[in-house]
């Protein structure tokens, strides 16, 4: 599983990355989590609002930080 957290480094982007790491740990999954901060890279995904979460090339959401429970659902 390849996970990318797209964002400029704002507090919500940092929170999302931390929550993703914790959710992965709690469900016992390992994944490569990459933080993407380059504006051109972010827009190449068609994302106009950050933070955003991309899993295996698919945008799961953008513009918000989902709940911890929702992240676990998405990453299972």
Query: Of these residues, 13, 52, 54, 75, which one is catalytic?
Result: 13
Do residues 61 and 53 make contact, with C-beta atoms less than 8 angstroms apart? yes
37 in catalytic set: no
The Cα 59–Cα 68 span in angstroms is 17
Residue 74 phi, psi dihedral angles, 5° rounding: -70, -35
Q: Is 10 a catalytic residue?
A: yes
Of the candidates 1, 9, 10, 49, the residue annotated as catalytic is: 10
Positions annotated as catalytic residues are 10, 13
């Amino acid at each position: 599983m390849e996970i990318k957290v797209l964002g400029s480094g704002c507090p919500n982007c940092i929170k999302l990355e931390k929550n993703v790491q914790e959710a992965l740990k709690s469900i016992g999954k390992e994944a490569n989590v990459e933080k993407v901060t380059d504006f051109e890279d972010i827009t190449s995904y068609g994302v106009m609002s950050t933070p955003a979460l991309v899993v295996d090339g698919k945008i799961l959401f953008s513009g918000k930080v989902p709940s911890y429970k929702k992240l676990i659902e998405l990453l299972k």
